[in-house]
Chain A
């Protein structure tokens, strides 16, 4: 039972990171109908920037803030300089361009920082503290929950309580109608990419200290898990992304704990296949009512 509780909390902590990353994928999918396969590489790039600043200044928190800010700028830049000019007549075009970005970003990171794993320290202890004699959560897990929870709350407030959020949603649902209502659709898309990339950067900063460290491909496996989470929840559903992330985190934690960590990567792919075959629109997909 102790083991089960530990794996549950560990899975939820990991799932919270998947949820944040899946949320970033959903934000861009809703706005542009593109699965941003470059999200992981972009997050690693900003993590390198963040840890470089942290190394140079000795302040993890400054590095953390710079990484998220770099995510905002990188996301806006990718939309304005690259994605805006992609021919959207075929969904494949955006996917191919995103995959090209992955190769470019990982290649550039390898040239600048090398292809060895670099240590990335966590700001809090990862040793679980005991509650009632059972090891449940570490301080770092609590930090992860708080950070992802804050992001979910802030995004929810943005999209439901502010005119900007309302216009971002409108621009995603029906761009031409939105333009007629005075919504600067291009600006909203840029903002959406910026926010998504910033959330991806946050997820990267949260997960990299729990893995082997910084590496140009450090987010590749996480991307697959987060993509599975987004598909499981429904690519159109932000709440689905969060719940999907938690479910994937739990499933992987139980599988790693009871069957061995080496089975986990295959389990993610198996889960993705099951979801795509059984419920390709996801658990929380809306009915076909998204076009204007």
Chain B
């Protein structure tokens, strides 16, 4: 894992360096506010990459860029070396699924129907049930999400993302509002995920325990990138973020 300085290849035969998701020099401004300042990141297949930083650092904005909700002023995004312009409704077609902060569910639809919307293949119902089982909420399939406790609703949202069988799973603060047992369950789910995981999270124990690499943002600027042990001892990170918590 490293910041990427080379342009993405469009060759059909992929080198190892091309595989996965690559962000090149992403810059986003909201009026006079520089939300992301020249952020580059390469996420190889199968890795779990955390994105951390204080509130307002640009973590969710970076997710929104990858999803196409925010169009950057400059920079490119590539999947397997091929640049693409992200559009939200094409995301699952590219093998990318995302959960939202809080719980973004269709409250007038049952849990099973919620997950079915996320399933993509002809075996949609089978995949939906498998995802519900995996997340431990199959018994609530006929319930409305609003009738479930918050932690169960978070699991439903995870199931919906997993039902899409993503290559890349983007989790936006999945531990928010969960207790210690739920966070342990979530850590296991992430560690056992058979896909790339991008994780935006404030819960440091979770991030440090599941991530292979961590990108640290501060006021939209990348200030560190490396394995958890390195990030833990990086003085810039301590000053910007961890120091305040230590």
Contact, CB under 8 Å: B108 / A181: no
Contact, CB under 8 Å: B89 / A174: no
**In this assembly, does B235 line the interface, its C-beta being within 8 Å of a C-beta of chain A?**
no
* B contact residues around A169 at 8 Å (CB): 106, 108-109, 113
Given A181-B92, A182-B89, 14 further pairs, Cβ under 8 A: A169-B109, A169-B113, A170-B117, A173-B108, A174-B104, A174-B105, A176-B69, A176-B88, A177-B105, A180-B88, A180-B92, A181-B118, A182-B120, A183-B117
Contact, CB under 8 Å: B105 / A286: no
Closest partner residue, chain B, to A160 (CB atom): B113
User: How far is B105's CA from A286's CA once the two chains are assembled, in angstroms?
Assistant: 16
Closest partner residue, chain B, to A165 (CB atom): B113
**In this assembly, does B146 line the interface, its C-beta being within 8 Å of a C-beta of chain A?**
yes
Contact, CB under 8 Å: A180 / B98: yes
**In this assembly, does A167 line the interface, its C-beta being within 8 Å of a C-beta of chain B?**
yes
Chain A proximity mask over B137-152: 1 for CB below 8 Å, otherwise 0: 0000000101000000
B contact residues vs A (CB 8 Å cutoff): 67, 69, 88-93, 97-98, 100, 104-109, 113, 116-118, 120, 124, 144, 146, 160, 164
Q: Which of A166, A176, A184, A291 contacts B117 (CB 8 A)?
A: A166
Contact, CB under 8 Å: B89 / A183: yes
Closest partner residue, chain A, to B87 (CB atom): A179
User: How far is B89's CA from A178's CA once the two chains are assembled, in angstroms?
Assistant: 8
Chain B proximity mask over A177-217: 1 for CB below 8 Å, otherwise 0: 11111111100000000000000000000000000000000
User: How far is B26's CA from A254's CA once the two chains are assembled, in angstroms?
Assistant: 68
* A contact residues around B120 at 8 Å (CB): 182
A276 to chain B, nearest CB (A): 23
User: How far is B106's CA from A178's CA once the two chains are assembled, in angstroms?
Assistant: 9
Count of A-B contacts with CB under 8 A? Answer: 72
Interface size, A (range):
20 to 34
**In this assembly, does A133 line the interface, its C-beta being within 8 Å of a C-beta of chain B?**
no
* 17 pairs from A and B in contact (CB 8 Å cutoff): A166-B109, A166-B117, A169-B108, A169-B113, A170-B117, A173-B106, A174-B105, A176-B104, A180-B100, A181-B97, A181-B160, A181-B164, A182-B93, A182-B164, A184-B89, A289-B108, A289-B146
User: How far is B106's CA from A290's CA once the two chains are assembled, in angstroms?
Assistant: 7
Minimum-distance CB pairs A-B, first 10: A179-B88, A182-B92, A173-B106, A289-B107, A177-B104, A289-B146, A179-B89, A170-B117, A292-B104, A181-B118
**In this assembly, does A132 line the interface, its C-beta being within 8 Å of a C-beta of chain B?**
no
User: How far is B100's CA from A173's CA once the two chains are assembled, in angstroms?
Assistant: 15
Contact, CB under 8 Å: B90 / A182: yes
* B contact residues around A292 at 8 Å (CB): 104-107
Closest partner residue, chain A, to B114 (CB atom): A170
A27 to chain B, nearest CB (A): 14
A contact residues vs B (CB 8 Å cutoff): 163, 166-167, 169-170, 173-174, 176-185, 286-287, 289-292
Contact, CB under 8 Å: A166 / B104: no
Closest partner residue, chain B, to A174 (CB atom): B106
User: How far is B118's CA from A167's CA once the two chains are assembled, in angstroms?
Assistant: 10
Contact, CB under 8 Å: B117 / A290: no
Closest partner residue, chain B, to A187 (CB atom): B89
User: How far is B97's CA from A180's CA once the two chains are assembled, in angstroms?
Assistant: 7
Contact, CB under 8 Å: B108 / A290: yes
User: How far is B114's CA from A170's CA once the two chains are assembled, in angstroms?
Assistant: 8
User: How far is B108's CA from A286's CA once the two chains are assembled, in angstroms?
Assistant: 8
* B contact residues around A185 at 8 Å (CB): 89
* B contact residues around A179 at 8 Å (CB): 88-89, 91
Q: Which of A166, A183, A290 contacts B113 (CB 8 A)?
A: A166
* A contact residues around B146 at 8 Å (CB): 287, 289
Contact, CB under 8 Å: A177 / B100: yes
Contact, CB under 8 Å: B108 / A163: no
Closest partner residue, chain A, to B91 (CB atom): A180
Q: Given A163-B124, A166-B113: A177 and B106 within 8 A (CB)?
A: yes
Closest partner residue, chain A, to B67 (CB atom): A180
* B contact residues around A184 at 8 Å (CB): 89
User: How far is B125's CA from A163's CA once the two chains are assembled, in angstroms?
Assistant: 10
Contact, CB under 8 Å: B98 / A290: no
Q: Given A170-B109, A173-B106, A177-B105: A289 and B69 within 8 A (CB)?
A: no
A79 to chain B, nearest CB (A): 17
A25 to chain B, nearest CB (A): 18
Contact, CB under 8 Å: B88 / A290: no
* B contact residues around A170 at 8 Å (CB): 106, 109, 117
* A contact residues around B93 at 8 Å (CB): 182
User: How far is B100's CA from A174's CA once the two chains are assembled, in angstroms?
Assistant: 12
* A contact residues around B106 at 8 Å (CB): 169-170, 173-174, 177-178, 292
